[in-house]
């Protein structure tokens, strides 16, 4: 397995007693697989993703192991983590505007990821930025490459976020509510792009969402979290067809009827 998390707990130290928000989660993911993590606000989904990429808040403490290709990410020195981040593990955030630099053209931001981590020339980085923009299906990339983030739509900004995350061909992509801020139609396009990347590039994708409908469409396996615990984990079709935990049943029941009907007829 590319990623193998065992007994991961995350807590916050504070003036009062320490508070644990993730309690002994285990999961694994291979290349070309999508794992959906679903659960309501405060379940600990984002903390889990931040622990994997080594970006937990300063007052957070994690225990357990996060084995990524044979290395325990929780025990790596910061410099090694810095290299892994971006190069081997990419992350896409909910609100692309806050992840992008408003004062830099989008082409420049994609190229910068390449220039920082590789010995590529400026001209090649520019050409590669264009290619990446094509990959995330930005029409007329040549004319959009010199646009600033505010000149793009929300969906286009999220595509740029994905292009940056992909620049260095990571093996693992973490997407935390990547479509929550977007219109439904744009949401579907972004999910299709992510789905294609998993298939075509063999990326392992962790897709985090509070929306079981989104996860059900995308994920091979699903992990249901509540209050920092795993409530249920298994192949998506099995979990949807015969949910074991009352919490999962409630999530399924809360889906719009049309979505539920679609899930039942899905392969």
Ligand X SMILES: Nc1ncnc2c1ncn2[C@@H]1O[C@H](COP(=O)(O)OP(=O)(O)OP(=O)(O)O)[C@@H](O)[C@H]1O
Q: Does 43 bind ligand X (CB under 6 A)?
A: yes
Q: Residue from 57, 77, 102, 267 that binds ligand X (CB under 6 A)?
A: 57
Q: Does 1 bind ligand X (CB under 6 A)?
A: no
Q: Residue from 47, 51, 114, 215 that binds ligand X (CB under 6 A)?
A: 47
Q: Does 187 bind ligand X (CB under 6 A)?
A: no
Q: Does 181 bind ligand X (CB under 6 A)?
A: no
Q: Which two tokens stand for residue 144?
A: 């959009």
Tell me how far apart the alpha carbons of residues 257 and 238 are, in angstroms, rounded to a whole number: 19
- 44 or 161: whose CB is closer to ligand X? 44
- 48 or 171: whose CB is closer to ligand X? 48
Please report, as residue ranges, which positions from 11 to 40 form the binding site for ligand X (by CB under 6 A): 12, 21, 39
Q: Does 46 bind ligand X (CB under 6 A)?
A: yes
- 40 or 112: whose CB is closer to ligand X? 40
Please report, as residue ranges, which positions from 209 to 228 form the binding site for ligand X (by CB under 6 A): 210
Shortest reach from residue 10's CB to ligand X, in Å = 8
- 74 or 136: whose CB is closer to ligand X? 74
Residues forming contacts to ligand X in the complex (CB under 6 A) are 12, 21, 39, 41-47, 57, 59, 210
């Amino acid at each position: 397995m590319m990623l193998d998390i065992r007994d991961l707990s995350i807590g916050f130290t504070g003036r009062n007693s320490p508070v644990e928000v993730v309690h002994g989660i285990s999961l694994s993911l291979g290349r070309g697989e999508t794992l959906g993590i679903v659960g309501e606000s405060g379940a600990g989904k984002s903390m889990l993703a931040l622990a994997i990429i080594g970006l937990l808040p300063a007052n957070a403490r994690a225990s357990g192991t996060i084995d990524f290709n044979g290395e325990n990410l929780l025990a790596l020195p910061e410099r090694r983590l810095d290299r892994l981040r971006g190069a081997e593990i990419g992350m896409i955030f909910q609100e692309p505007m806050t992840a992008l630099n408003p004062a830099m053209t989008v082409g420049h931001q994609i190229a910068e990821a390449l220039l920082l981590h590789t010995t590529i020339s400026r001209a090649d980085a520019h050409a590669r930025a264009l290619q990446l923009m094509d990959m995330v299906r930005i029409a007329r990339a040549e004319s959009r490459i010199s646009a600033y983030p505010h000149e793009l739509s929300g969906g286009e900004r999220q595509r740029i976020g994905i292009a940056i995350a992909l620049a260095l061909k990571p093996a693992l992509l973490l997407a935390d509510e990547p479509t929550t801020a977007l219109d439904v139609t744009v949401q579907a396009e972004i999910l299709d792009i992510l789905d294609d990347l998993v298939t075509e590039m063999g990326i392992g994708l962790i897709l985090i969402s509070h929306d079981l409908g989104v996860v059900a469409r995308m994920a091979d396996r699903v992990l249901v979290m509540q209050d920092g615990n795993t409530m249920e984990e298994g192949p998506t079709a099995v979990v949807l067809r015969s949910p074991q935990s009352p919490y999962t049943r409630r999530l399924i029941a809360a889906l719009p009827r049309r979505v539920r009907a679609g899930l039942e007829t899905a392969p």
